Structure 1
């Protein structure tokens, strides 16, 4: 008795041998299921379902359904402020872990913040301001337990470069600061808007390979910029490309370098790199590289103070404004020429900051096996930057180096950010005068040692092995940043990422299928050399949806497959092709242009006396084939559930072998 296969629309056309229907006798064919025609969905429901799947795939309203009004209000507050949910189970044991982690990352962030503010061409206190207010807000609104919030090197450099193109940070200091606050405000608005409207998928258009290259290029650029502080050079280029920087460095060899500064900077850079090496070799000693920057600042500051090395040309931080964040609401440009400039810079900086934060959050969430809501993260990051712009902060986001230390220090929740924020507050109120004699060379050493971790050679090698086009995107972004500027590198990264998407959409893969011996499975003959051709039948699989962007290419590629097949058959004096079977399993959708392309393909095949057959079209595709009457054009008897069923009708003797 013959086996009957399932009538599901989603059935695979490559069923195993156990599902293959065997005939009763030599002349009897297996039972063949017809492809069912699904009921036509209502237009409004179809549009609603599409929009819901695009913007609400996780159904955020599900927890609110069938809940009393009071419970809905509580759930709403917990959605906006996750701390109200996980805070119920918070205890002293978790606080101990968060306290240690918070103190550890505070010791790392304070010297980093002072250095990063220089990358943004802002006074040192602005870096500390940005590690006080934003982490507090994130602790209440963020969903990641491990991410450490504050200024980061890449965003600081990007912001400083873009702002410097508009205003001189020395000659127009006040206007420059105002533009920085304006850019931060719009960075927050961009992030919060993407999260509120659930448009987080937009940041996924920047490929991983492009991000790896961009980060590595930014790390090199940042490190080169620190040669000014490391070598004690006073006059330095404002450009960031490697050629301009190296000209500036070697042009100052005879009159600009300061040997005392070099001794201080290089010796402590070696110390910091050695501390990082110790931390990598022994994970239990994670605290060594974490406290090394602050220890370097204390020792070098004390050394400069007792020797008065500043009199010998060693550049020092000097005055850092004491006190908590002053209000900057009235300094944001909401009108005038700088409004659009601030908006443009803010959108770019906000997107890069968002990409880095979400990537960091997802990385550590997977390591601890918990989920973070990307859209909630965007709202939290956006809110903290909006509030930050009104309290003298510049763009803050998740820091990978601090988040890694936070994770290894045993943090249990976002309370570690609150602890770090409290330490920064104490620093602003009490300790800032002690940084007066801190040499700039130490800050340069700290930044260099921090950004070297952004260069991921293992990731670059893996990208090369897996996908050469991805490697081109990676290198394009890298060389764009190093040899041009941060914004050029970013533009190249985005352009190559989009180019890859367009290439994949407009030039999808197709494959000629053959039968795996002793099965009813049909596979790519290039992948499976033992797969055999079917006499008189050409089987082609289309590995993509068929849209206006690729429909002509798919039609022409199929006809090229046919031409190559006919030439090969003629050369070997074998029967020509009488049937063309299109495996539609991977075709998730089709539009009007796609259907027109199939109609043109059908007419071209008719002129050659070749019958077109379709195998396993999905529900959406089948709906449109019937709506356009294409199914009637080729004949509904020529639409099959499996490739094997099509072969039974086209070459029954071969299929029974």
Structure 2
């Protein structure tokens, strides 16, 4: 923004009650007409806003696209570097392991090894449990805890993220695929669709990162995610009543009513042995979570509890075999078999696989990036969102070819990883190595593991997703966000997970549209003793300054809201004129629009401003603009607004706009 060399200074009486003691400076018609200014108003130095430096269309478009798709400016590090150095930097950029790997030491390895073994003790039982949640063979959960962590260690930029299957993505995949294919009747087809959906999830995630479109994921607001996660956690927990009660024939529907009806109807199938074991271990697991939550130094208590529970319950089940406790059964030994030949890219089920992949891809990507950024902020380092998307996407595409289903960064495992003292992504490699040993040598030991313990582990893991305090905070801060949270929660709980997710996305988009099409506009007044103008509704000491009507526009002005803004401003004018008539005050002679919060404006907005000025001119009311930002000023001077307003109707601040007026201000 360029300022004319011509600067006019208006001096006012600085002390309250001095009336007409202001001394106008010579050479200004406005100052000559100025006889009195409000008490408490300070001297104002008036600057005229002139047209900014013109940019070519290509340059302006290039700068805008760079801000949209490359806000982090990833190419800045390549400037003024030799070719060899650029190659090294490129290798480090795409493979972060080469960046921190050169400084790796035995001390770091010791910390990562401890953390890796700790999260492996959590990942093994969770992997088996989450696979059953997705209606997949338990071994698939262990496969998914082996290959993806290795790939993420090469490509990921987070030091603390622990990769593996997660509950919400597992639940959504199981619910969506089961609607079309029953895993009990068509297990091979179901497995093919699961791997295909995982491939499309990875393709979608990697594409978002490669095309720098990560902002799409941000359309899921925290409020809607809170409601969705809470509802999904309740549904997941209710689904585990099948394992906790020992029910054999259970509903395949996810709704709250269907699940509870199935529990009641199948009361004859309840097994007291299963109930006793399930309740006992569930109490132990929840108790250990409370211990670790109250004393973070005892994080290992809750981390080791799932594997310890599996071992103890397996021993009990072995000695009580044949007494009504269902077990996992045989699990094949060996590393991940290839599954590339099982991917399906034609036929009637491809659309279902694509839809499932996109849904699970969005959820897993949102969770993974959120977890990575959370721990990055704690440890004061940066996580590149687009690189994370590519890493998670490539991880899932490769996993789909190695008998894995959708994986991402898990909050529970990442929290344990952080608490255990991990220093780099090598902890994922150590975890994968521990899973490999389990796959090669320890699988027969899980034969007698009871299904009820897997249900208890799932309930314990998802219990933390029910954020009651977060919902209460939403109610206190933003009622609309709270309504969005409740709607998403009820959509998941009463209808289905897919409907709940659709409601969450729909409400997020509706909120954005509401804020864009109905932006906030406020009446502003002068804060005595300052040059600041603030909302009279927010600041009680702020007073109106007749004959001026000062309005603040708190949004970008687009085609979607320009008509509404004009109507709202004219309504403010009518209300102000009625108020002035009742109070026997002077009528409005000038409307000042504070545009400091207007970050952008399009041609429809510019035309609306120009048309509103012409309407007000016919009524003898001036319209002036205050403090437009650089990009808005540039568009104004390149459009009809620049011709309509001219340089003498655009000011640096509201105070300058009021000071430059040729008539008296009377607060």
Q: Which residue of 2 aligns with 1:275?
A: 288
1:593-652 Cα deviation digits (max 9, x unpaired): 112211231232123221111112223222222222323223432222221121123265
- Structure 1 residue 567 corresponds to structure 2 residue 575: no
Deviation at 1:493, TM superposition (A): 0.4
Q: 1:82 to 1:131 in 2, by over 3 A?
A: same
Q: Which residue of 2 aligns with 1:618?
A: 629
TM-score of the two chains, using structure 2 as the length reference: 0.93
Q: Which residue of 1 aligns with 2:278?
A: 265
Q: Which residue of 2 aligns with 1:295?
A: 308
Which shifted more, 294-303 or 351-360?
Answer: 294-303
Q: Which runs of no fewer than 5 residues in structure 1 stay unpaired?
A: 1-5, 10-16
CA contact (8 A) 1:215 1:455 kept: yes
Tell me which of 610, 628, 637 is aligned to 1:599. 610
Which shifted more, 416-425 or 628-637?
Answer: 628-637
Counterpart of 1:33 in 2: which secondary structure? strand
1:461-472, aligned counterparts within 5 Å? 461-472=472-483
Residues of 2 paired with 1:635 and 1:44: CA distance?
A: 26
Q: Which residue of 2 aligns with 1:307?
A: 320
1:243-642, aligned counterparts within 5 Å? 243-253=257-267, 255-308=268-321, 311-642=322-653
Which shifted more, 136-145 or 68-77?
Answer: 68-77
Which shifted more, 341-350 or 150-159?
Answer: 341-350
Residues of 2 paired with 1:299 and 1:516: CA distance?
A: 70
1:285-336 Cα deviation digits (max 9, x unpaired): 111111111111111111111122xx23211101112111000011101222
Which shifted more, 78-87 or 583-592?
Answer: 583-592
Tell me which of 90, 96, 115 is aligned to 2:110. 96
- Structure 1 residue 27 corresponds to structure 2 residue 24: yes
Deviation at 1:25, TM superposition (A): 5.0
Counterpart of 2:593 in 1: which secondary structure? strand
Which shifted more, 89-98 or 646-655?
Answer: 646-655
Deviation at 1:575, TM superposition (A): 1.5
Counterpart of 1:34 in 2: which secondary structure? strand
Residues of 1 paired with 2:167 and 2:537: CA distance?
A: 48
- Structure 1 residue 46 corresponds to structure 2 residue 60: yes
Residues of 2 paired with 1:52 and 1:31: CA distance?
A: 37
Residues of 2 paired with 1:444 and 1:164: CA distance?
A: 19
CA contact (8 A) 2:516 2:560 kept: yes
Residues of 1 paired with 2:639 and 2:630: CA distance?
A: 14
CA contact (8 A) 1:258 1:313 kept: yes
Q: 1:24 to 1:82 in 2, by over 3 A?
A: farther
Q: Which residue of 2 aligns with 1:14?
A: none
Counterpart of 1:650 in 2: which secondary structure? coil
CA contact (8 A) 1:534 1:651 kept: no
- Structure 1 residue 60 corresponds to structure 2 residue 98: no
Q: Which residue of 2 aligns with 1:36?
A: 50
Counterpart of 2:625 in 1: which secondary structure? strand
CA contact (8 A) 2:122 2:307 kept: yes
- Structure 1 residue 203 corresponds to structure 2 residue 203: no
CA contact (8 A) 1:114 1:125 kept: yes
1:134-168 Cα deviation digits (max 9, x unpaired): 00100111011111100011110011011111211
CA contact (8 A) 2:46 2:660 kept: no
Counterpart of 1:654 in 2: which secondary structure? coil
Q: Which residue of 1 aligns with 2:39?
A: none
Residues of 2 paired with 1:629 and 1:443: CA distance?
A: 68
CA contact (8 A) 2:209 2:389 kept: yes
CA contact (8 A) 1:535 1:651 kept: no
Q: Which residue of 1 aligns with 2:40?
A: none
CA contact (8 A) 1:537 1:651 kept: no
Deviation at 1:653, TM superposition (A): 4.3
Residues of 2 paired with 1:61 and 1:542: CA distance?
A: 36
Q: Which residue of 2 aligns with 1:242?
A: 256
Deviation at 1:31, TM superposition (A): 4.8
Residues of 2 paired with 1:518 and 1:273: CA distance?
A: 59
Deviation at 1:537, TM superposition (A): 1.3
Deviation at 1:72, TM superposition (A): 1.5
CA contact (8 A) 1:537 1:650 kept: no
Residues of 2 paired with 1:79 and 1:24: CA distance?
A: 67
Counterpart of 1:613 in 2: which secondary structure? strand
1:444-465 Cα deviation digits (max 9, x unpaired): 1111111101112221111111
CA contact (8 A) 2:626 2:657 kept: yes
Which shifted more, 229-238 or 514-523?
Answer: 514-523
Tell me which of 128, 141, 148 is aligned to 1:134. 148
Q: Which residue of 2 aligns with 1:179?
A: 193
TM-score of the two chains, using structure 1 as the length reference: 0.94
Q: Which residue of 1 aligns with 2:208?
A: 194
Counterpart of 2:591 in 1: which secondary structure? strand
Tell me which of 128, 149, 153 is aligned to 2:163. 149
CA contact (8 A) 2:227 2:489 kept: yes
Q: Which runs of no fewer than 5 residues in structure 2 stay unpaired?
A: 6-12, 15-19, 26-30, 32-43
Q: Which residue of 2 aligns with 1:81?
A: 95
Q: Please, what is the CA RMSD of the aligned residues?
A: 1.9
Residues of 2 paired with 1:350 and 1:24: CA distance?
A: 70
Deviation at 1:77, TM superposition (A): 1.3
Which shifted more, 628-637 or 122-131?
Answer: 628-637
Residues of 2 paired with 1:628 and 1:648: CA distance?
A: 27
CA contact (8 A) 2:606 2:640 kept: no
Residues of 2 paired with 1:72 and 1:531: CA distance?
A: 57
Deviation at 1:7, TM superposition (A): 4.1
Name the count of aligned residue pairs: 638
CA contact (8 A) 2:4 2:47 kept: no
Residues of 2 paired with 1:181 and 1:352: CA distance?
A: 17
Q: Which residue of 2 aligns with 1:3?
A: none
Q: Which residue of 2 aligns with 1:114?
A: 128
1:342-372 Cα deviation digits (max 9, x unpaired): 1121111111100000000001111111111
CA contact (8 A) 1:182 1:332 kept: yes
